[in-house]
Amino acid sequence: MKTIQYTIQDPMGIHARPAGLLAKEAGKYACNISVAVEDGTPVDAKRIMGVMRLAAKQGMQLNMTFDGADEEVAAAEFEEFLKENL
C-alpha cells in the first residue's frame, strides 16, 4: 500500500472538471485508489461523483491511497498529475 498527500492549489478546488480529470486518470490503473480530504471518509477515486462529494477547496489536503499491482507507478504518476491539474 502506498500513500501520498497533496495540498490543493487550484483556487476553484475540486469541482466537476477536475473531478472528471482525476477519475479518468485513476481509471488508467489496475490498483484500488481511494482519496479523502484531510480526516474525511475515503472515496473511490475512479468514481467522479464520489470525488465531487469531497467538496475539496483550495488549501485542503488530499490523502490518496494506492493498493494493488501497479501502486508504485500509480502513486508516482499521480503526484505529477496533481501538481499539473490541482
Given the residues 5, 12, 15, 59, the one annotated as active site? 15
Domain ranges of the chain: 2-85
Is 15 one of the catalytic residues? yes
Give the pLDDT of residue 39.
81
Q: Sign (positive/negative) of CA torsion 20, 45, 52, 50?
A: positive
Share of the chain above pLDDT 90, in %: 92
pLDDT tens, residue by residue, 5-46: 999 999 999 999 999 999 999 999 999 999 999 888 999 999
Whether 13 and 57 have beta carbons less than 8 Å apart is answered as yes
The predicted model scores a pTM of 0.90
Average pLDDT over residues 34-61: 94
Tell me the CATH number for domain 2-85: 3.30.1340.10
C-alpha–C-alpha distance, residues 81 and 28, integer Å: 12
